[in-house]
Amino acid sequence: MGRGKIELKRIDNKINRQVTFAKRRNGILKKAYELSVLCDAEIALIIFSNRGKIYEFSSTSNMMETIEKYQKIRYGSLENNDLHMEKEQSSYVEYLQLKARYQELQQLQRQLLGEDLKSLNLDDLEAIEHQLQSSLKAIGSKRTKRMLDQLHQLQAKEKMMMDANKALEKKLEEICAANEAQKAWVSGEQSSIFGQQNPHSHGFFQPLDCNSNLQIGFSDPMSSGEMNVAALDCRNGNGSVPVWML
């Protein structure tokens, strides 16, 4: 038959309690050692007897390092959790404040538009009226300033465009003058070249001096009598007749 279930309770017999403590202590120390070897676990075990005697086991050479590591992980996470909770609470409080401020601004906007005025007294209404007048005055001043700024900008732009127009007109006049000078130079050059090629061209179109009496054949301005005298003179001079008289 199997062993029955043992009820866990304090052992009244002092000797039996001491024997059980020694057996269970050695067993748990052995189990801790086996767990550290088999599973490569970092283990720190501390046991205090009822007499205040301490028994300990550490899988590392320094148990304090393991204890510090435990404190850092265990209590450090608690501190982080506390900080996180404090931050959440602060954010929630800020959210409530912003929500209340938003509701106040919405109500004020409705009142400025002439709505939800039943709960206001005379002083509140006068304050809203004064605020509206101040707002209208500020808006008018701002609008006037914007209009003056736009006017100055337009005037500056107009001046810039007029200066650009003047510069373009001046440039256009210079281009026209250069074109006229180039045309005059080309015309003078052509006239000079034509004059060099035809030095007597100025008299080419003058009328020729012609005798109005039309004669067919050889025409000599000298008369027949003068021709005979010239022939005799030539014959008397050298004794020969010129060839053109033969």
Secondary structure class of 58 (helix, strand, coil)? strand
Quote the pLDDT of residue 112. 81
Which one is predicted more confidently, 96 or 242? Answer: 96
Please name the helix (run of DSSP H) or strand (run of DSSP E) that holds residue 54, with its range, or none: strand 54-58
| Structure-block tokens of residue 90 | 């602060």
Contacts of 60 (CB under 8 A, 6+ apart): 42, 44, 66
**29 and 52 in contact (C-beta within 8 Å)?**
no
Query: 217-227 pLDDT, tens per residue?
Result: 444 544 445 54
Over residues 20-50, the pLDDT tens digits come to: 999 999 999 999 999 999 998 999 999 998 8
Q: What is the pLDDT of residues 185-232, one digit of tens each?
A: 888 776 666 555 555 444 444 444 444 444 444 445 444 455 454 444
The pLDDT score that the predictor gives to residue 186 is 82
Cβ contacts of 158-166, under 8 Å, gap ≥ 24: none
C-alpha–C-alpha distance, residues 246 and 50, integer Å: 185
Identify any residues that bridge with 44 across adjacent strands, giving them in sequence order.
58
Report the chain's C-alpha Rg in angstroms. 68
**Spatial CB neighbours of 137, under 8 Å, sequence gap ≥ 6:** none
